[in-house]
Amino acid sequence: MLQDSGDPNRIWVYEVYKDEDAFEAHMVAPHYLKMQELTQGMRADETSRGTRVTNIWPPDSEWK
């Protein structure tokens, strides 16, 4: 989690998953669904929600 330097009320959350299957499993996990429900009024901007990116460093083989 990172706090925006220009807006202390904006928090950025970055998550890393082993593969697409792990990401999809997370999206339907009970704890994730509950968090979505509890933070409904807090999430003002979800333009990047679910954005897929490609890892370039460290290489996948170095993730623990």
Mean pLDDT, consecutive 10-residue stretches, the chain (64 aa), reads 86 82 92 88 64 79 78
For the chain, the domains span 2-45
pLDDT at position 62: 84
User: 52: closest CA among 16, 10, 3, 25?
Assistant: 16
Q: What is the pLDDT of residue 33?
A: 92
- Which pLDDT belongs to residue 25? 94
Integer CA distances (angstroms), 18 to 1, 10, 25, in order:
19, 27, 11
DSSP-derived letter for residue 61 is: G
